[in-house]
Amino acid sequence: MEIVLEGLDARHRAAADNGPLALHSLSLKVSTGEHLAVIGPSGAGKTSLLQVLATGLRPTSGRLSLDGLDPWSLSSGELRRLRSRIFYAPQIPPLPPRQRVVTALSSAKLSELSTAASFLNLVRPRFAQESYEALCAFDLGEKLWLRVDRLSGGERQRIGLAKAFMSSAELWLVDEPLSALDPKRSQQAIAALVEEANRRGVTLITTLHQVEVARQMFPRVIGLREGQLQFDLPRASVTDQALQHLYAQFEHELEQTSGPLHPEDSLTLPSSSAHVIACR
């Protein structure tokens, strides 16, 4: 899905009408199939940007175009169709605690089912094999029939990502997918996500706290600060100096989340799919 933002302003949902802008004069162009990481200190507007792209937050001014469509001038039916082409994974996935994993995953398919079939799916999940395969990519195949409340925070986060595999969306918007994962799991999860996005040719936009992951796994990295674009660079051009500038006065976030940029401390991430776990 092709994305164009021009001079876009947006406010957080909870902010007053005259409150500060979460995104300010943002212009951006993303081509179909591109992979982008969005980094920046807390409060920079990363989540707000994903929400605007997911058409969950209406910009206060400026232009948003998704494959040539302005979501906010569409009819409700057209907007629903557009939304069915977008997958948004919030940082904490909204998984019903008493539901089984297979049912929670199948919910990504509900837009393809009739209302009756959706209800039936709660009792007799229809997409067990597909759910199993999506889980395997995140090393969670054996959790298929467990209840969500039996899982750890990290497992739930990975199930939130596996949901992307169940959807037929052309744009994946993923908010801080690694926040509950240890380095090894982070490595596997991001590799699985990137690999599948590549295979399907979907456009992938991921916000990340881990700047090393952004630099190693995403060809293009965007730095946001105070709602504004600070840089938009190919990964090789994201220097330590650019990061220090982006995180000035927030150095603790840079250090805590990515290590102090010493090579021996940074994650060693696969450049290929070597770490993606296959179904057995």
Ligand X SMILES: Nc1ncnc2c1ncn2[C@@H]1O[C@H](COP(=O)(O)OP(=O)(O)O)[C@@H](O)[C@H]1O
CB-nearer residue toward Mg ion: 91 or 121 = 91
Per CB under 6 A, 14 contacts ligand X: yes
What's the CA gap between 61 and 233, in Å, rounded?
25
From the list 24, 28, 36, 48, which residue makes contact with ligand X (rule: CB under 6 A)? 48
The amino acid sitting at 90 is P
Per CB under 6 A, 12 contacts ligand X: yes
Return the residue matching tokens 């081509």: 31
From the list 8, 28, 37, 46, which residue makes contact with ligand X (rule: CB under 6 A)? 46
What's the CA gap between 267 and 259, in Å, rounded?
9
CA 205 to chain centre: 6
The amino acid sitting at 34 is E
Q: What is the dihedral of CA 158, 164, 167, 171, to 10 degrees?
A: 170
Name residues contacting Mg ion, limited to 27-46 (CB under 5 A).
Answer: 46
From the list 41, 44, 47, 218, which residue makes contact with Mg ion (rule: CB under 5 A)? 47
Query: Backbone phi, then psi, for 84, in 5-degree steps?
Result: -70, -10
Per CB under 6 A, 20 contacts ligand X: yes
Q: Smallest distance from the beta carbon of 46 to Mg ion, in angstroms?
A: 5
Residue nearest to Mg ion (CB): 47
The residues binding Mg ion (CB under 5 A) are: 46-47
The residues binding ligand X (CB under 6 A) are: 12, 14-15, 20, 22, 40, 42-48
